[in-house]
């Protein structure tokens, strides 16, 4: 009658199969309902798109091209290789995109730092950007994790508060722009995720000796959990697969560490004016743990704030004898390097804090030659006061 009193099966023998309905409402249904009532316009994800599985098993559409690149303040401001790498990947894979001047910041960095704004302003800023994208004929692709998380928050507020919708409508009327909301809020790292095999096909560097630790952004997978990509093959579908899937596709090793779930310590306001918190937290809880437990060659993340915090926290703490010194970059820069992108002309690694040279050597990149090539272009630009580096220069 009784079966066996053996010890429990090992984790590798346990398989998670999600049963039952998702515990959340489907925001797409609510969006379409509002559209049917004439309250707003839903911008559909254009074809071609790829469907990926998200946390509760629902499928999310990720467009491959015709994307409106919603840029990030921090990336464009002080990590320019991050944005450049994203554009470069699109260009190399042959996907058409638009890089708008008619774009404002999502302003969420400021909102989370200082609360010198309100739901109405934040929603209006979001909808204005979305309306502009639709008018330009492209589908928004969000570069920053903060923007992505914030726009998910805005979506929830718009879906559940008719008063807010009225306010936004009044504002859009004054701006003479339509009230548009995209069917999906898509983060660029989700695009990288769905094209990772194409990236791997064009890979020219050997990453098999590279160990990377992954840091998932809080605003990607914690703030409104529904949208994040999960994969049964990775972490048994229990942790988000984003970035880790890319690392594996590029044949590098994704090493785990005990503070994987922890925030990086960005703090929005703290990183600018209370940096003791950010750098202490990033050093003690993230970098030192990664070094002790995984000793990675690089740590990868997919958000502006995370790259900033993890990268910029290591210099001063090194002076205090802490165990730091892991290069930090985004998944886009990592993928671009794999495909042979120039480390300085495209990935702009000279804007990063932690020394990248040992990593580049391990990747097989002649960084001295590369820096010479960059300096050549730079000196040309110095002499001719109006010239810029072109995409052709970057690939030469």
Partner 1 sequence: MPNLPVLVIGGGPAGLEAARGIVDLGYNCILVDKADFLGGNPIFADYSAITPDMRNAEEAMDEMIAKVMVNPLVDIRLNTTVAASEGDAPHINVTLKNGKGEETVDVGSVVVATGFQHFDPGKETQMYGYYEFDDVITLVDVERMLKGGNFIQPSTGEKPKQVCFIQCVGSRDRQIGNFWCSKVCCGVATKEAIEIRHLLPDCRVFVFYIDMRMYGFWEDELYWKAQEEYKVNFIRGIVTEITKRGDTVVVKGEDTTMGRPMEIPMDVVILSIGIEPSEGTKEMAKIFHIPLESHGFIETIGGALNTVETKVSGIFAVGATTGPADLEDSISTGGSAAMKACAFIRKAELQTV
Partner 2 sequence: MSIYKDAKYQDVPYEEKQKLFQEVKDDMRWDSVMYGCYECGICVAACPSARFYDFSPRVFAQVMGREDIDTFYELLNDSVWDCSQCFSCTRCPRQNNPGAIITIMREVAVNHGLSSAKKALQAYSRIIYKIMSTGTQVAPDMLQPDFFPDWGPDVKNVSENLDVWRRAIPPETMHTTELAWDVSEKTRLELYMIWKLTGNLEMIENIDEGIFMILEEVMEELLEEHGYDIDDFENVLED
Distance CA 297, CA 307 (A): 15
Q: Using the rule CB under 8 A, is 319 a contact of partner 1?
A: no
Q: Roughly what angle, to the nearest 10 degrees, separates helices 162-175 and 145-160?
A: 110
* Binder of residue 128, out of partner 2, partner 1, none (CB less than 5 to 8 A by kind): partner 2
Cβ of residue 241: shortest distance to partner 2, in angstroms? 19
DSSP secondary structure letter of residue 287: I
Binding of residue 5 to partner 2 (CB under 8 A): no
Q: To the nearest whole angstrom, how small is the minimum distance from the Cβ of residue 119 to partner 2?
A: 6
- Binding of partner 1 by 233 (CB under 8 A): no
Name which of 297, 331, 309 is nearest 81 in CA terms.
331
Among 32, 95, 260, 268, binds partner 1 (CB under 8 A): 260
320 binds, among partner 2, partner 1, none (CB under 5 to 8 A by kind): none
> For residue 209, what is the DSSP state?
T
Site string for partner 2, 92-121 (x = CB under 8 A): -------xxxxxxx-x-xxxxxxxxxxxxx
Count of residues in contact with partner 2, rule CB under 8 A: 96
Selected from 238, 274, 372, 379, the binder of partner 1 by CB under 8 A is 238
Q: How far is the CB of 104 from partner 2 (least distance, A)?
A: 4
CA-CA distance, 147 to 125, in Å (whole number)?
A: 11
Q: How far is the CB of 360 from partner 2 (least distance, A)?
A: 15
- 258 binding partner (options partner 2, partner 1, none; Cβ < 5 to 8 Å by kind): partner 1
Where in 64-210 does DSSP place strands (E)? Answer: 67-70, 97-98, 139-142, 180-182, 186-187
| Of positions 49, 68, 87, 188, contacts partner 2 by CB under 8 A | 87
Which CA distances in Å does 23 have to 19, 20, 26, 33, 240? Answer: 11, 9, 10, 20, 18
Q: In a 10 Å sphere around its CB, with 0-12 CB exposed, 13-18 middle and 19+ buried, how is residue 277 labelled? A: middle
């Amino acid at each position: 009658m009784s079966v066996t009193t053996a010890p429990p099966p090992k984790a590798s023998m346990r398989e998670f199969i999600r049963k039952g309905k998702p515990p959340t409402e489907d925001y797409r249904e609510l969006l379409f309902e509002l559209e049917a009532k004439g309250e707003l316009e839903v911008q559909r994800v254009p074809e071609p798109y790829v469907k990926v599985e998200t946390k509760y098993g629902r499928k999310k559409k990720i467009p491959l091209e015709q994307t409106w690149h919603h840029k990030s303040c921090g990336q464009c401001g002080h990590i320019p290789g991050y944005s450049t790498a994203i554009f470069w990947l699109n260009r190399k894979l042959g996907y058409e995109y638009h890089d708008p001047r008619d774009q404002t910041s999502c302003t969420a960095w400021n909102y989370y730092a200082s609360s010198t704004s309100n739901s109405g302003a934040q929603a209006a800023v979001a909808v204005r950007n979305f309306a502009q994208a639709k008018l330009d004929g492209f589908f928004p692709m969000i570069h920053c994790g903060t923007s992505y998380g914030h726009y998910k928050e805005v979506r929830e507020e718009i879906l559940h508060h008719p008063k807010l919708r009225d306010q936004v409508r009044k504002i859009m009327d004054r701006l003479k722009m339509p009230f548009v909301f995209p069917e999906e809020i898509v983060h660029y790292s989700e695009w990288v995720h769905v094209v990772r095999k194409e990236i791997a096909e064009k890979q020219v560097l050997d990453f098999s000796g590279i160990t990377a630790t992954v840091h998932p952004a809080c605003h990607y997978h914690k703030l409104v959990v529904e949208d994040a990509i999960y994969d049964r093959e990775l972490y048994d579908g229990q942790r988000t697969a984003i970035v880790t899937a890319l690392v594996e596709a590029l044949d590098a090793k994704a090493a785990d560490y005990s503070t994987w779930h922890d925030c990086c310590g960005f703090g929005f306001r703290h990183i600018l004016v209370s940096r003791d918190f950010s750098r202490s937290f990033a050093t003690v809880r993230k970098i030192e743990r990664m070094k002790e437990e995984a000793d990675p060659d690089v740590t990868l993340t997919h958000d502006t704030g995370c790259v900033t915090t993890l990268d910029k926290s290591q210099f001063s703490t090194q002076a205090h004898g802490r165990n730091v010194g892991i290069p930090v970059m985004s998944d886009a820069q990592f993928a671009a390097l794999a495909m042979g992108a120039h480390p300085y002309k495209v990935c702009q690694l000279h804007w990063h804090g932690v020394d990248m040279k040992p990593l580049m050597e391990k990747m097989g990149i002649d960084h001295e030659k590369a820096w010479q090539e960059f300096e050549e272009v730079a000196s040309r630009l110095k002499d001719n006061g109006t010239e810029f580096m072109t995409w052709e220069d970057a690939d030469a």
